[in-house]
Structure 1
């Protein structure tokens, strides 16, 4: 089973998810799980998860993204295991079942919703109460500060440190960023137990693309390095993105 196509950007999360899916299937006593992917877009994770044999419902506000998802699922040979519905985190239960999913993916959502606490609360409420796993991926404050500083934008880097939403200025395209502590606090506020916190893209966004695009050996070495530092607190605090894996009810959540 291959990784999602943007492997360097998603490799750490994908490996954690694969193990978490195996653990959840064993705990549930079922080979096929029901997965909800909120803000899943074109299916970067949903389609590979479906190729593992699971049923995936993708909720996304963009009709264009859902059209691309359908095409992608068909090309991957899993159109019967991927269902796309138009909606968002605020009205999640207008289109998704409360308490009906073994795993919920909340990737790239909390940065953009008006109320991240509500978005996380809805994602958690979609999990089966007897046992479910939540995967949260969100933009990290430390990685952006480091990147702005290395690019010579020192005032913007400093501004982000004091901004309540972690933004470097009016032209910042990301509405909100999180520290590891802020993100885990959102998760635990909903009664979930954090199993693991990972730093994602600690180095990848700082390395010249030409280096890894033209040298497969360098790409593999970078992927191994990302995996090696993902759970080290000193490095996840400066990661471009943060990944939290949590659980409710019984059974393992950590990968």
Structure 2
């Protein structure tokens, strides 16, 4: 696996990064422009925005947290891409108060739908930011992964609660307001007029494997990364993934 992350933290992002990098390459070839306009909603301190900018693209990050945007600015400067990354304070609900409609080749919506009041509206907004042809990268919390994690931790009642709750929450103490199945996410995306390109299960195994095993066994990290990549596109594993990633495309009517 390649940039942006090499240590154990790469287990959380490697699959999405590889898919996104390939999508950016394809979109650049399709448009004939080496430098794309990319919007990262909820992009925080730039975990994806800065590596995307290092590929030569222009990235606008929309995030409600001033602290995250400050960290983004510092991170972009340290990476030498400060002139390619712009941070603005806002959220998916009021997205067009801070960015224009139809101005972006690629939109990232990672870790946003779990927290918005209306997930369908959130998807419609990010799709509205795409140009007539464009790509949406959507990443959200998976229901099955939460159920499995609670069960393996011995919290069987909470696991059953998450399984039956309309929002996929395991109780009042659950920090995540909403989780999704792969079917729910793809329905939201197709309802917005986009065509599904691929669905990936993210962190299928990474959150379940003891950290000491990955850190101490020679070659374990690379082997686990390869396993995650191999399982990501297998529908059988979507139902137990911690996160779900949907790559979708917008075409001219």
Which TM-score tier does this pair reach, normalised by the shorter chain? over 0.9
Query: Which residue of structure 2 lines up, in the alignment, with residue 190 of structure 1?
Result: 192
Q: Aligned equivalents of 1:100 and 1:215: distance in 2?
A: 47
Q: Residues 216 and 2 of structure 1: is their aligned pair in 2 closer, same or farther, counting only changes over 3 Å?
A: farther
Contact 1:58 1:83 in 2 (8 A): yes
Contact 1:4 1:48 in 2 (8 A): no
Query: Which residue of structure 2 lines up, in the alignment, with residue 248 of structure 1?
Result: 250
Tell which has more relative contact order, 1 or 2 (C-alpha 8 A, sep 6+): 1
Contact 1:4 1:14 in 2 (8 A): no
How many residues are paired up?
249
Q: Residues 216 and 62 of structure 1: is their aligned pair in 2 closer, same or farther, counting only changes over 3 Å?
A: farther
Query: Which residue of structure 1 lines up, in the alignment, with residue 10 of structure 2?
Result: 7
Shift, 1:216, TM fit:
5.3
Does residue 32 (structure 1) correspond to residue 35 (structure 2)? The answer is: yes
- Larger displacement relative to structure 2 (112-121 or 133-142): 112-121
| Structure 1: unaligned runs, 5 residues or longer | 251-255
Query: Which residue of structure 2 lines up, in the alignment, with residue 235 of structure 1?
Result: 237
* Runs (4+) off by over 4 Å: none
Query: Which residue of structure 2 lines up, in the alignment, with residue 78 of structure 1?
Result: 81
Query: Which residue of structure 1 lines up, in the alignment, with residue 152 of structure 2?
Result: 150
Shift, 1:151, TM fit:
0.8
| Structure 2: unaligned runs, 5 residues or longer | none
Query: Which residue of structure 1 lines up, in the alignment, with residue 220 of structure 2?
Result: 218
Q: CA RMSD in A?
A: 1.0
Contact 1:87 1:95 in 2 (8 A): yes
Query: Which residue of structure 1 lines up, in the alignment, with residue 168 of structure 2?
Result: 166
After TM superposition, the score normalised by the length of structure 1 is: 0.96
Q: Aligned equivalents of 1:17 and 1:105: distance in 2?
A: 9
Does residue 20 (structure 1) correspond to residue 23 (structure 2)? The answer is: yes
Q: Residues 91 and 18 of structure 1: is their aligned pair in 2 closer, same or farther, counting only changes over 3 Å?
A: same
